[in-house]
Amino acid sequence: MSRRGAWWTAIAVAAAGAVGVAAARWSGDSRPRPRAAPDGGAGLPVPAAAAPRARLRPAPLPVPAAEGTLEPADERPLWDAREAESRDPAWADAKERAIGERVRALVAAATRDRPGGVAVPQIECRETHCRLLVTGTDGPAFRAFVESLQDERGFYGDADLLALDGYSEVPDGSGGTRYSVRVHLQYRR
């Protein structure tokens, strides 16, 4: 190829590149394109796709845990549904005893190294809903207990729905922290 042909080839390649850049900018897609690794990407970690952010709601809707679905089980907030129920004494008493036994075992497991760090002063059941109040003064034991409520040692597979509500950390006045959370359980009957 002559010098003149090489010159025109270089100009044509540069012009084609400029047209491509201009087209990408004018099409509204000005994001940089990812480059391929020289070795084809072998050995490089694959980035996880960012999950879309969910819109925050003032009150969570109940979601059935046992079915693995994200459809709301009830359109009313969980605590409204619970408050609308009357108490079924036979079912509620039996369920409160069963929950109490399970909770005592979980408290013992969470606080075996630090006794007294977690308490469940309230267990109250109605027709299909139960509510527990969990308090604590030992942060790691409190968190371990709350985590255990959500797995097979706790209520996973037992309750149709488990929701945490009203978590708080407040100074107790003596340099420590007082933790609390409400636990809502829903059962299908």
Q: What is the pLDDT of residues 19-33, one digit of tens each?
A: 666 666 665 555 555
State pLDDT tens for residues 65-90: 454 444 444 445 666 777 778 899 99
* Strand ranges for the chain from DSSP E: 118-125, 129-136, 161-171, 177-186
144 occurs within a structural domain: yes
163 occurs within a structural domain: yes
56 occurs within a structural domain: no
Cα radius of gyration rounded to whole Å, the chain: 29
150 occurs within a structural domain: yes
103 occurs within a structural domain: yes
Looking at this protein, which amino acid is placed at residue 167? Y
* pTM score of the predicted model: 0.56
For 163, the domain range is 78-186
Closest CA to 63 of 161, 154, 165: 161
State pLDDT tens for residues 157-185: 889 889 888 888 888 888 889 999 999 99
Looking at this protein, which amino acid is placed at residue 118? V
Number of domains forming the structure of the chain: 1
Residue 171 belongs to a domain with what CATH number?
3.30.70
Write the CB contacts of 181 (distance below 8 Å, at least 6 apart in sequence).
Answer: 133, 134, 146, 164, 165, 166, 167, 168
Distance separating alpha carbons of residues 106 and 178, to the nearest angstrom: 19
15 occurs within a structural domain: no
3 occurs within a structural domain: no
pLDDT at 72: 46
Most confident option among 11-15, 69-73, 103-107: 103-107
